Amino acid sequence: MAFSQKVLSLAADAERELADIFARIDSISFENTQKIMNAFKEHRVSEAVFNPTSGYGYNDRGREILDEIWADVMGAEAAFVRHSIVNGTQALTIGLFGLLRPGDIMFSIAGKPYDTLDEVIGNTGEAGNGSLRDFGVEYRQADLHEDGSFDLDRIREVLRHEGDRVKVVFIQRSKGYLNRKTLSVDQIGEVIKFVRSLKNDCYIVVDNCYGEFTETREPCAVGADMIIGSLIKNPGGGMAESGGYIAGSAKAVELASYRLTSVGCGLEVGATLGQNKSLYKGLFYAPHTTAQALKTAHLAAYMFGERGLGFDVEPAWNEERYDIIQAVITHSPEGLCAICRGIQAGSPIDSYVVPEPWEMPGYTDKVIMAAGAFTQGSSIELSADGPLRPPYTAYLQGGLTYESGKIGIMSAVEEVLKSKK
């Protein structure tokens, strides 16, 4: 793959400027890897845990030990991780339906959740489709301030006037399809303290997607009752080919497990069908793979931002980041589509395919997606996507290796330059 001298020089400049940041990312990866290896040692992981089960899956020690390891690594009392969870949205649905009952209120305090939750909550879609609203669950929202901080006045207002009915306080850690800053574990911890000072009998649930292993702590360590994520993002390490997880307090996880399987069965059933090895291996790789994705995101911010093509980017190239997502605000549909075409052309799989916007299930706007991945939909592999709506933001994430991520970003920069000619 040939690159112009302009793009090669820009990438070289970026790597010189990013050397210290890359070193800090490596130190976080080391600490998280050490945590995982200690958990593997503590739980005496052996080849026997990879053995498959079928049918009901009773007494699957590989499954049970992996749940225990996951709880330890996430700083939680309990956890479950299953290959059969199809995506992050289903994992979130399992958690929310597990905790909420008719008459309860779900209160999102970090703005609007990710688009695919709209129909789950019942904010969009037809009545009677089985949303939370259909089951008598109401929804309230507090938007973040423009600087990315929580609106404490709005949170206080809702909890004081409707606190008796607020069962779940929901926090989306990552930006999703919003042009806002991602929340750090410290920020989440501070707002949890604030909520607890007003109401101590609700579940605080964190959508942890894209944030795992970007720091040395996860939100359970600062008081979250439940954290939820997808295995084809950070924690699957590029090895898991499907799946999701829920971790948190023992009671919250138990309630979620009754929606994963059924009341009375919970986590005692569920055949692993030979998938355990990829889940163990994925967790082992996860801190390193996340570090590769973080480095790729920093490079993208540099090359697309003020030091490169001049787009607005969030975060900036030299900002500390708490998820693997890099937003590039193009202000034009062609700019968004050009980035996606370049990412696709720089991918190991389907590099010859040209992505086009389409009506994607679960979204209200047309979405364009570039994802030349080994695992379909994998966000830990370099991808780019965005809804075709102003300000036409491309959301980049992933990179199994920094080297392949660098190639993908350089390819996208070349495509944008070509589109301007």
Give me the phi and psi of 2, to 5 degrees please: -95, 140
The reply to whether 152 falls in a domain is yes
Find all residues with CB under 8 Å of 210, minimum gap 6, and list them: 173, 174, 182, 233, 234, 323, 324, 325, 379, 397
User: 318, 369, 322: which is closest to 343 by C-alpha?
Assistant: 369
Give the three-class secondary structure for 67. helix
Structure tokens at 191: 């707002």
The reply to whether 161 and 24 lie within a common domain is no
Q: Measure the CA–CA gap between 401 and 32, rounded to whole angstroms.
A: 18
The reply to whether 297 and 266 lie within a common domain is no
The reply to whether 216 and 350 lie within a common domain is no
Give the total number of structural domains in the chain.
2
Specify whether the CB–CB gap between 100 and 340 falls below 8 A.
no
According to DSSP, residue 116 is labeled G
The reply to whether 232 and 90 lie within a common domain is yes
The reply to whether 244 and 348 lie within a common domain is no
The reply to whether 43 falls in a domain is no
The reply to whether 11 falls in a domain is yes
- Classify the phi-psi angles of 110: left when phi > 0, otherwise alpha if psi is within -120 to 50, otherwise beta: alpha
> Which of 113-117, 258-262, 320-324, 350-354 comes out lowest in average pLDDT?
113-117
The reply to whether 193 falls in a domain is yes
DSSP E strands, 254-348: 312-314, 326-329
The reply to whether 13 and 118 lie within a common domain is no
The reply to whether 157 and 104 lie within a common domain is yes
Residue 364 has pLDDT above 90, yes or no: no
pLDDT at 177: 74
Per-residue pLDDT of 229-253, as tens digits, reads 999 999 999 999 999 999 999 999 9
Residue 421 has pLDDT above 80, yes or no: no
Whichever domain contains 210, its CATH number is 3.40.640.10
The reply to whether 38 falls in a domain is no
- Distance (Å) of CA 228 to CA 63, 186, 219, 244, 409: 18, 18, 10, 8, 29
The reply to whether 277 falls in a domain is no
The reply to whether 290 and 415 lie within a common domain is yes
> Which structural domain, as residue segments, surrounds residue 304?
5-32+284-419
The reply to whether 174 and 59 lie within a common domain is yes
Q: Please name every residue paired with 384 in a beta bridge, in sequence order, or none if there are none.
A: 370, 396
pLDDT at 201: 95
The reply to whether 290 falls in a domain is yes
Q: Which strands form 383-387's sheet, in the order they lie side by side?
A: 312-314, 326-329, 393-397, 383-387, 367-370
Global confidence as pTM: 0.95
